[in-house]
Copies of this chain bind each other. A is one copy, B any other.
Amino acid sequence: MRFSVSAVDGDARLAQLGFARGAVDTPAFMPVGTLGTVKAMTPEELAHCGAQMILGNTFHLMLRPGCEVVRAHGTLHDFMHWPRPILTDSGGFQVWSLAGLRKDREAGVTFKSPVDGAEVFLGPEESIAVQHALGSDVAMVFDECTRWPAGEGEARRSMERSLRWAVRCKAAHGAHPAALFGIIQGGMFPHLRHASLAGLAAAGFDGYAIGGLSVGEPKGDMQKILRAIAPSMPAGKPRYLMGVGSPEDILFAVACGVDLFDCVLPTRNARNGWLFTARGDVKIRNARHRTDTAPLDADCACGTCRNYSRAYLSHLYRCNEILAARLGTLHNLFFYQRLMKEIRAAIAAGCYKKFAADFCAARAG
């Protein structure tokens, strides 16, 4: 993986990630392909939206369909017919989410499979092995996502364990050609975040991620951590904010110097009828859209806005038609990818701060 920064505007950066499977212009947003499919979309539609890289979930894929089935096809790319780069998470976040179903030890985590109830063990070495089997272009270290709220002692112990696991992941990764990113933990404590970053940087990774945010904390806490840690992350490596977020969250994080994002928000919200537009969000099931022959967003060039009315979308959602989820997801992903393009153009033009302020103001109405 190559990484080159071509412009900066304050702390915001315009850059490019280079992989054998293609380039990724950053700041970039990766749609989430949990189970080997970005829900409701084909790979062709993802590319049409402007996505250059997607995320795959190690935890879900190791349980279904399992590594052996993916490996029989080559890599996850071959299995799901997505030829461009894929970043895989480590499974750490998902096992952490299985409250009551898991048993943590220094070796790793034993959990009951939510698919069939079988006992499964996932530790740093196992996570890296799965990510290698999936043929990931960027593997993530196996970490412990510190719960929120957590006191300083708990956050420190959790962060230190993640650091030890990161070092074991690096050893397990060895000379594998995929990139390996470290994950900064430390809860809502800036000095712990800096200690985590220092430990990871000492080990040396191809990129650095911020984990443990957007886990229930107030927006102000997330912003405090982003402001404290993002600008300090190695300038020559990509910076990835995991699992975040809304358009406004992304704009804030880009201003702090973050390059990469992933989130289920555009896809999950689309399935619930929550659609993003430059003039604010639209709950398409609301009664007032039922007879509206105007498009969802007249300024949007996506297939949904070009071909269908709000009334038609509203009808599809009310009837729980599959096409509702398709058209909504297509629009939301197109909206996110257009936002990322505009962010990159604004950084290149040196007017990022004004762009972000105007964008947020237009959405707040």
Interface residues of A (CB under 8 A from B): 35-37, 39-42, 64-65, 68-69, 72-73, 79-81, 290-291, 293, 303, 307-309, 311-312, 314-316, 318-319, 321-323, 325-326
Contact of B42 with A326 in the complex, beta carbons under 8 Å: yes
A69-B315 contact given A42-B326, A307-B81, A322-B325, CB 8 Å threshold: yes
Contact of A40 with B322 in the complex, beta carbons under 8 Å: yes
Residue from B316, B318, B326 within 8 A of A326 (CB atoms): B326
CB distance from A45 to the nearest CB of B (A): 10
Residue from B37, B68, B315 within 8 A of A35 (CB atoms): B315
CB distance from A37 to the nearest CB of B (A): 5
Contact of A311 with B81 in the complex, beta carbons under 8 Å: no
User: Bound complex: CA of A73 vs CA of B316, how far in Å?
Assistant: 15
Contact of B293 with A72 in the complex, beta carbons under 8 Å: yes
User: Bound complex: CA of A41 vs CA of B327, how far in Å?
Assistant: 10
A72-B322 contact given A37-B316, A65-B290, A316-B37, CB 8 Å threshold: no
Contact of B69 with A319 in the complex, beta carbons under 8 Å: no
Contact of A73 with B312 in the complex, beta carbons under 8 Å: yes
Contact of B36 with A291 in the complex, beta carbons under 8 Å: no
Q: Which residue of chain B is the closest to A292 with respect to CB atoms?
A: B72
Residue from B40, B73, B303, B325 within 8 A of A293 (CB atoms): B73
Q: Which residue of chain B is the closest to A65 with respect to CB atoms?
A: B315
Which residues on the B side are within 8 Å of A316 (C-beta)? 35-37
Q: Which residue of chain B is the closest to A60 with respect to CB atoms?
A: B319
User: Bound complex: CA of A69 vs CA of B323, how far in Å?
Assistant: 18
Beyond known contacts A73-B293, A73-B312: 20 more, CB 8 A cutoff: A36-B312, A36-B316, A37-B316, A39-B322, A40-B322, A40-B323, A40-B326, A41-B323, A42-B303, A42-B323, A42-B326, A69-B291, A69-B315, A72-B293, A72-B311, A79-B309, A81-B312, A322-B322, A322-B325, A326-B326
Contact of B311 with A69 in the complex, beta carbons under 8 Å: yes
User: Bound complex: CA of A141 vs CA of B41, how far in Å?
Assistant: 39
